[in-house]
């Protein structure tokens, strides 16, 4: 049968970010998938080399608006790894509270968008209405709905006021009630079962081979979570359990995310109730030469930051690896063989975040290298030099 290529994107209403998918189909079946990125590349790693250690959290916060806690968290952990300092306990708790609040809003956001992709706009509207409540909580705690600016190397920038805590706890309790209703409505819906069960299966072996991270791997039965494997913050001081399911289809990914929201709420609540007193900033001295890594379990999986210092006030190298970078290739094993109608939800089921993943590539078209102005000048200078040599001139 003849193959057809269906282009999706780069600017399309399906997802909010620009990215280009080409689906090769035979009849109704997808036989190949390819993704082209680069519409979001802003050169963050290079940019952060021009900022001081205290300014970089604001840069990495804007890698991705949904993970605006994960990147600063991993970055400050990398810087603290270089300097080897211990940060105050209260700061650890506040960091955990903010990180879990972000996980709740990110999972709810994904759940709403998944409903939208399936044509269940009711789910989209209900869940996003609920998401506003957690954004209110974050606004009270940090002063902003999305970019929290709470993190700094050595501690946090803003304390949680004692008088806010009862209101916040009341608010997140009210979320649990609505979410319980939603959970029953979503997970017991026969249409959603028919639509999501058994499609886009990521097998356990594939999840390991592709090094899938976060809910994508946990839905396939790979119990991998930085918060449990290498506890940091207050994650080893409060009770919570890792959600792992076995089948690896899209439905399981929904289940993992919905149940994780409940866990996050319970972590957030117990952190707020047992918030220790004390300072919130270790007042980090100058950063010594060296290198450090920081990992944080973002809503989509493990975020990895590497920072190298030469003793000055700016990082000399800052490397970011976002979870979608590892999760996106799993589409090769999940989408191929599926029907076109299922492709949208399978591609979305890893909760992709392309602005985290953006890389820059110098590409060749038809085997010819594309050149910029500087390279043309270099070639011109080289030719002159060569001619000079040939003609015996200096």
**Does residue number 10 form part of the binding site for other proteins (CB under 8 A)?**
yes
**Does residue number 317 form part of the binding site for other proteins (CB under 8 A)?**
no
**Does residue number 128 form part of the binding site for other proteins (CB under 8 A)?**
yes
Cβ neighbours of 349 (radius 10 Å): 31
Give the residue, chosen from 58, 117, 240, 262, that forms a contact with other proteins under the rule CB under 8 A: 58
**Does residue number 13 form part of the binding site for other proteins (CB under 8 A)?**
yes
CB-based contacts of 206, cutoff 8 Å, min separation 6: 212, 220, 330, 333
- DSSP reduced 3-state for 342: helix
**3-class secondary structure for 79-146?**
HHHHHCCCCCHHHHHHHHHHHHHHHHHHHHHHHHHHHHHHCCHHHHHHHHHHHHHHHHHHHHHHCCCC
CB of 149 to other proteins, least distance (A): 10
What are the helix and strand counts (H, E) for the chain? 16, 10
**Does residue number 41 form part of the binding site for other proteins (CB under 8 A)?**
yes
Give the residue, chosen from 4, 50, 312, 316, that forms a contact with other proteins under the rule CB under 8 A: 50
Report yes or no: 296 and 74 within 8 Å, Cβ to Cβ. Answer: yes
Give the residue, chosen from 35, 59, 97, 175, that forms a contact with other proteins under the rule CB under 8 A: 59
**Does residue number 374 form part of the binding site for other proteins (CB under 8 A)?**
no
**Does residue number 64 form part of the binding site for other proteins (CB under 8 A)?**
yes
CB of 68 to other proteins, least distance (A): 7
Query: What character string, x for contact with other proteins (CB under 8 A) and - otherwise, covers 324-363?
Result: -----------------------------x-x----x---
- DSSP class of 281: B
CB of 13 to other proteins, least distance (A): 5
- Name residue, tokens 């149940």: 259
Cβ neighbours of 136 (radius 10 Å): 14
Residues facing residue 151 across a β-bridge: 156
Applying CB under 8 A, the span of 55-63, 156-164, 293-301, 382-390 interacting with other proteins comes to 55-63
**Does residue number 111 form part of the binding site for other proteins (CB under 8 A)?**
no
| Helix, strand, coil shares, percent, the chain, to 5 | 50, 15, 35
Q: Contacts with other proteins in 130-159 (CB under 8 A)? A: 132, 145-147
**Does residue number 65 form part of the binding site for other proteins (CB under 8 A)?**
yes
**Does residue number 42 form part of the binding site for other proteins (CB under 8 A)?**
yes
**3-class secondary structure for 284-314?**
CCCCCCEEEEEEEEECCEEEEEEEEECCCCC
The site for other proteins (CB under 8 A) is made up of 10-11, 13, 16-18, 38-44, 46-47, 50, 58-59, 62-66, 68, 109, 112, 124-125, 128-129, 132, 145-147, 353, 355, 360
């Amino acid at each position: 049968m003849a193959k057809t290529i269906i282009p999706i994107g780069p600017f399309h209403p399906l997802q909010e970010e620009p990215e280009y998918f080409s689906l090769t189909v035979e009849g109704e079946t997808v036989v190949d998938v390819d993704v082209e990125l680069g519409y979001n590349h802003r050169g963050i790693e290079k940019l952060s080399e021009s900022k001081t250690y205290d300014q970089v959290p604001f840069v990495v916060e804007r890698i991705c608006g949904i993970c605006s806690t994960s990147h600063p968290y991993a970055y400050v952990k990398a810087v603290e790894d270089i300097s080897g300092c211990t940060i105050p306990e209260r700061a650890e708790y506040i960091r955990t509270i903010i990180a879990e609040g972000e996980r709740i809003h990110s999972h709810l956001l994904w759940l709403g968008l998944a409903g939208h992709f399936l044509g269940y706009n009711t789910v989209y509207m209900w869940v996003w209405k609920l998401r506003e409540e957690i954004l209110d909580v974050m606004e009270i705690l940090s002063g902003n709905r999305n970019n929290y600016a709470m993190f700094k190397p050595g501690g946090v920038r803003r304390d949680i006021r004692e008088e806010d805590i009862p209101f916040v706890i009341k608010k997140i309790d009210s979320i649990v009630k609505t979410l319980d209703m939603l959970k029953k409505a979503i997970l017991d819906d026969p249409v959603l079962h028919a639509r999501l069960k058994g499609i886009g299966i990521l097998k356990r072996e594939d999840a390991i081979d592709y090094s899938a991270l976060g809910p994508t791997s946990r839905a396939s039965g790979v119990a991998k979570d930085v918060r449990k494997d290498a506890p940091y913050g207050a994650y080893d001081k409060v009770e919570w359990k890792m959600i792992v399911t076995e089948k690896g289809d899209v439905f399981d990914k929904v289940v993992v995310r919905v149940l994780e929201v409940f866990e996050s709420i319970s972590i957030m609540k117990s952190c707020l109730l047992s918030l220790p007193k004390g300072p919130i900033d270790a007042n980090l001295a100058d950063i010594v030469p060296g290198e450090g890594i920081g990992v944080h379990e973002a809503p989509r999986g493990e975020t990895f930051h590497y920072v190298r210092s030469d003793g000055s006030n700016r990082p000399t190298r800052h490397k970011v690896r976002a979870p979608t970078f590892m999760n996106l290739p799993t589409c090769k094993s999940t989408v191929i063989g599926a029907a076109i109608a299922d492709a949208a939800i399978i591609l979305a089921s890893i909760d992709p975040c392309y602005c985290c993943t953006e890389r820059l590539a110098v590409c060749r078209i038809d085997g010819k290298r594309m050149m910029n102005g500087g390279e043309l000048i270099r070639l011109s200078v080289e030719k002159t030099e060569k001619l000079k040599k040939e003609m015996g001139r200096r």
